């Protein structure tokens, strides 16, 4: 049997198309819909986690808790100068006191604007690479009581949650892929039962197991691809809609979940990947079943 | 003439029951015509199934085209099956395929290019007298027409052996004689023909045919065909 993609090719007529159901296509559409959603969640979380890592990895705040404003201001100025010299530090700036007072306003009201109110000096430090320990040493050389907050430390639970969600999505995708393979195995076996008489005749006429397996694997591949494109298209539409809604929220963290061009491309590959998986599963299933016959 | 099929003490058992065929020893010569007769249930179909490699013997040795058929790996069976044409008792035409496509099936299975298929299929349709029925599907054909399509399908690949199981069982006497004539003409072209039938009227229609008789799973040899090669008789 020669195989071609021509829809009217004679080998396409060997299996009775009237006995074909569309159930497989719809099942695959649902499977791919769920897979693409899980994939989008996973990719979005991976992207957001990476962005969070990039943003937080080199950011820390040095606090100088000194009630004497003169000493505090001179320590702050010395601290900024010293930290700027530490290798890897790209920026060291003292937070604007007016801005700090603004942040405290909900709790202290206008009292926060009182220049006599003892407020710590806050120095924002951004690093690219470099040793955080060197920053700590430089800060403590000026003020042994300086407090150093690593941003990554207090956002660690958030990062951990996002990482867990990423791997949860990966697990979900693997689970759906396994379920898809199982559905294909069952469909291939059902197909063998449905077409048993034709297969027996083909065998007696000298068909090889591979020739027969190809008939099934091609049909299942087409069903999976058709259903997959349908399900993936719907899921990508949902993802695009959700992403545009998230963008409207204006949240810096949620905008990190937005899919990149590479992510969309990877999601588009999923129906093709599943079609290949289905083809392989159908081939294995049919060959194993045929091997039990003479 | 060279022996094309040899059975040596062949037995066949289905499951754990008694043997359906016992101690079958025979040798079929290339280019000869054989009738296999016997009452219903004697084991004719079972014997033919072993001959066209649908069953392996439970004991004994079957040599086909010079090789031990029982020891053939599955991968080599298709190649052997393509050398054997089979007319099944129930025709086994593929119901959703046209008569044309049913006849073309062995060529397509063998990988013959589509452009090289039409001419032999048309020739076969003409040979069995169904030129105008090429597009008809089996359920719309009469029993005799289906039988002739089955025969055309069996012979289109120019098999070395043609095996026919009760090919005249579903047709009227005139049609039976016409079908037999088709087998005879194929035999004259050099194909070894084995026809299982319990229709004794047919046996005299092929003068040079040899008769094997199966009774209760054992083979008798009333014409001596199995002891003496046809050429020496």
The listed range with the strongest mean pLDDT (A16-20, A93-97, A171-175, B98-102) is B98-102
Four-CA torsion B59, B64, B68, B70, nearest 10 degrees: -40
Kindly list the distances between the CA atom of residue A45 and the CA atoms of A22, A159, B74, in Å, as whole numbers in the listed order.
Answer: 35, 10, 51
The pLDDT value given to residue B228: 46
Instruction: Please determine, for residue B120, whether its predicted confidence score (pLDDT) is greater than 90.
Output: yes
Going by pLDDT thresholds of 50, 70 and 90, the confidence category of residue A8 is: low
The listed range with the strongest mean pLDDT (A151-165, A251-265, B84-98) is B84-98
| A8 shares contact with chain B (CB less than 8 Å) | no
The pLDDT value given to residue B132: 94
Instruction: Please determine, for residue B13, whether its predicted confidence score (pLDDT) is greater than 60.
Output: yes
Using an 8 Å Cβ cutoff, are A23 and A17 in contact?
A: no
Residue B59 falls inside a structural domain: no
**Residue in A with minimal Cα distance to B57:** A294
Residue B12 falls inside a structural domain: no
User: What's the rounded mean pLDDT across residues A38-63?
Assistant: 84
| A203 shares contact with chain B (CB less than 8 Å) | yes
User: What's the rounded mean pLDDT across residues B7-28?
Assistant: 90
| A206 shares contact with chain B (CB less than 8 Å) | yes
Cross-chain Cβ contact B53/A207 below 8 Å: no
Crossing angle of helices B118-127/B99-109, nearest 10°? Answer: 130
Q: Where is pLDDT greater, at B51 or A130?
A: B51
The pLDDT value given to residue A150: 83
The pLDDT value given to residue A97: 76
Report the alpha-carbon distance of residue A45 to residue A254 in Å, rounded. Answer: 10
User: What's the rounded mean pLDDT across residues A101-108?
Assistant: 76
Q: Name which of A13, A200, A291 is nearest B97 (Cβ-Cβ).
A: A13
Instruction: Name the percent of chain A lying above pLDDT 90.
Output: 14
Q: Which residues contact A160 (CB under 8 A, 6 or more apart)?
A: none
Residue B5 falls inside a structural domain: no
Residue B196 falls inside a structural domain: yes
Sheet architecture: strand order including B84-87? B84-87, B161-165, B192-196, B33-37, B210-215, B218-220
Cross-chain Cβ contact A14/B55 below 8 Å: no
The pLDDT value given to residue B100: 95
Residue of A12, A206, A208, A292 for testing the chain B interface, max B β-carbons within 10 Å = A206
Q: Name which of B81, B97, B114 is nearest A204 (Cβ-Cβ).
A: B81
- Which of chain B's residues have a Cβ under 8 Å away from the Cβ of A12? none
The pLDDT value given to residue B87: 93
Report the alpha-carbon distance of residue A140 to residue A162 in Å, rounded. Answer: 34
Question: A212-238, pLDDT tens digit by residue?
Answer: 888 888 888 888 899 999 999 999 999
Write out B123-186 in H/E/C secondary structure: HHHHHCCCHHHCCCCHHHCCHHHHHHHHHHHHHCCCCCEEEEECCCCCCCHHHHHHHHHHHHHH
The pLDDT value given to residue A12: 66
Q: Which residues of B touch A (CB under 8 A)?
A: 52-56, 74-75, 77-79, 81-82, 86, 88, 92-97, 101, 104-106, 108-111, 113-114, 153, 157
Report the alpha-carbon distance of residue A226 to residue A228 in Å, rounded. Answer: 5
* Stretch 155-194 of chain A: residues touching chain B, C-beta under 8 Å: none
Cross-chain Cβ contact A10/B110 below 8 Å: no
Cross-chain Cβ contact A13/B111 below 8 Å: no
Q: DSSP letter for B92, please.
A: -
Whole-model pTM over 0.90: no
Tokens of B42: 């004697």
State CA A22 to chain mean position distance.
31
Cross-chain Cβ contact A2/B113 below 8 Å: yes
- Which of chain A's residues have a Cβ under 8 Å away from the Cβ of B109? 1, 202, 205-207, 211
Cross-chain Cβ contact B81/A16 below 8 Å: no
Going by pLDDT thresholds of 50, 70 and 90, the confidence category of residue B229 is: very low
- Which of chain A's residues have a Cβ under 8 Å away from the Cβ of B75? 208
Residue B16 falls inside a structural domain: no
- Which of chain B's residues have a Cβ under 8 Å away from the Cβ of A198? 94
Which has the minimum average pLDDT: A44-58, B67-81, B123-137? Answer: A44-58
Helix (H, G, I), strand (E, B) or coil at A178: helix
| A210 shares contact with chain B (CB less than 8 Å) | no
Report the alpha-carbon distance of residue B174 to residue B41 in Å, rounded. Answer: 26
Report the alpha-carbon distance of residue B134 to residue B126 in Å, rounded. Answer: 10
The pLDDT value given to residue A117: 72
The pLDDT value given to residue B233: 38
User: What count of other Cβ atoms lies within 10 Å of the Cβ of residue B134?
Assistant: 18
Q: What is the mean pLDDT of chain A?
A: 83
Which has the minimum average pLDDT: A158-172, A264-278, B165-179? Answer: B165-179
Instruction: Please determine, for residue A207, whether its predicted confidence score (pLDDT) is greater than 70.
Output: yes
Residue B4 falls inside a structural domain: no
Going by pLDDT thresholds of 50, 70 and 90, the confidence category of residue B227 is: very low
* Stretch 17-56 of chain A: residues touching chain B, C-beta under 8 Å: 17-18
Query: The complex's ipTM?
Result: 0.85
Cross-chain Cβ contact B113/A18 below 8 Å: no
The pLDDT value given to residue B1: 67
Going by pLDDT thresholds of 50, 70 and 90, the confidence category of residue B154 is: very high
Instruction: Please determine, for residue A16, whether its predicted confidence score (pLDDT) is greater than 80.
Output: no
| A202 shares contact with chain B (CB less than 8 Å) | yes
- Which of chain A's residues have a Cβ under 8 Å away from the Cβ of B93? 201
Using an 8 Å Cβ cutoff, are B179 and B147 in contact?
A: yes
Question: B53-74, pLDDT tens digit by residue?
Answer: 999 999 999 999 999 988 888 8
Cross-chain Cβ contact B92/A18 below 8 Å: no
Report the alpha-carbon distance of residue A109 to residue B30 in Å, rounded. Answer: 112
Cross-chain Cβ contact A16/B96 below 8 Å: yes
Q: Look at chain B and report how many structural domains it folds into.
A: 1
CATH label of the domain that carries residue B207:
3.40.50.300
Residue of B52, B88, B108, B158 for testing the chain A interface, max A β-carbons within 10 Å = B108
**Residue in B with minimal Cα distance to A291:** B74
Going by pLDDT thresholds of 50, 70 and 90, the confidence category of residue A11 is: low
Report the alpha-carbon distance of residue A237 to residue A268 in Å, rounded. Answer: 12
Instruction: Please determine, for residue B81, whether its predicted confidence score (pLDDT) is greater than 90.
Output: yes
Instruction: Please determine, for residue A49, whether its predicted confidence score (pLDDT) is greater than 90.
Output: no
| Residue B179, domain extent | 31-54+77-228
- Which of chain B's residues have a Cβ under 8 Å away from the Cβ of A2? 108, 111, 113-114
User: What's the rounded mean pLDDT across residues B24-28?
Assistant: 91
Going by pLDDT thresholds of 50, 70 and 90, the confidence category of residue A162 is: confident
User: What's the rounded mean pLDDT across residues A194-204?
Assistant: 87
């Amino acid at each position: 049997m020669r195989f071609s993609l021509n829809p009217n090719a004679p080998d396409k007529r060997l299996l009775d198309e009237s006995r074909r159901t569309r159930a497989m296509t719809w099942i695959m559409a649902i499977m791919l819909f769920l897979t693409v959603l899980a994939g989008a969640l996973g990719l979005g979380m991976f992207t957001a986690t990476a962005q969070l890592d990039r943003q937080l990895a080199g950011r820390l705040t040095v606090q100088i808790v000194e009630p004497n404003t003169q000493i505090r201001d001179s320590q702050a100025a010395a601290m900024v100068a010293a930290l700027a010299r530490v290798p890897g530090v790209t920026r060291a700036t003292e937070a604007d006191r007016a801005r700090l007072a603004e942040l405290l306003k909900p709790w202290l009201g206008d009292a926060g604007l009182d220049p006599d109110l003892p407020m710590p000096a806050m120095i924002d430090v951004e690093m690219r690479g470099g040793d955080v320990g060197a920053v700590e040493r430089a800060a403590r050389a000026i003020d042994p009581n300086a407090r150093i907050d690593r941003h990554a430390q207090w956002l660690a639970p958030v990062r951990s949650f996002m990482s867990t969600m990423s791997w949860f999505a990966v697990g979900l995708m693997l689970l759906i892929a396994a379920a898809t393979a199982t559905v294909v195995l069952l469909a291939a076996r059902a197909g063998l039962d449905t077409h048993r008489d034709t297969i027996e005749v083909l065998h007696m006429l000298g068909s090889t197991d591979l020739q027969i397996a190809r008939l099934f694997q091609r049909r299942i591949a087409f069903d999976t691809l058709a259903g997959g494109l349908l399900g993936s298209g719907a899921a990508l539409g949902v993802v695009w809609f959700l992403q545009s809604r998230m963008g409207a929220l204006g949240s810096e963290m949620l905008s990190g979940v937005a899919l990149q061009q590479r992510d969309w491309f990877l999601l588009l590959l999923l129906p093709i990947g599943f079609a290949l998986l289905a083809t392989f599963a159908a081939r294995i299933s049919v060959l194993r079943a045929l091997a039990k016959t003479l | 003439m060279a022996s094309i099929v040899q059975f040596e003490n062949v037995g066949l058992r289905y499951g754990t029951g008694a043997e359906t065929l016992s101690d079958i020893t025979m040798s079929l010569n290339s280019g000869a015509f054989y009738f296999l007769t016997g009452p219903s249930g004697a084991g004719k179909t079972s014997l033919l199934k072993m001959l066209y490699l649908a069953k392996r013997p439970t004991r004994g040795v079957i040599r086909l085209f010079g090789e031990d058929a029982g020891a053939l790996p599955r991968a080599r069976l298709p190649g052997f099956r393509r050398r054997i044409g089979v007319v099944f008792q129930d025709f086994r035409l593929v119901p959703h395929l046209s008569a044309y496509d049913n006849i073309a099936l062995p060529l397509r299975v063998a990988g013959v290019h589509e452009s090289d298929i039409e001419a032999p299929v048309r020739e076969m349709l003409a040979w069995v007298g169904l030129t105008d029925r090429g597009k008809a599907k089996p359920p719309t054909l009469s029993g005799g027409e289906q039988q002739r399509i089955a025969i055309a399908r069996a012979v289109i690949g120019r098999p070395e052996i043609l095996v026919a199981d009760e090919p005249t069982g579903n047709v009227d006497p005139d049609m039976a004689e016409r079908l037999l004539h088709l087998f005879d003409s194929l035999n004259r072209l050099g194909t070894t023909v084995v026809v299982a039938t319990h229709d004794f009227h047919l046996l005299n229609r092929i003068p040079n045919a040899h008769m094997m008789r199966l009774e209760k799973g054992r083979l008798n040899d009333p014409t001596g065909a199995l002891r003496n090669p046809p050429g020496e008789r």
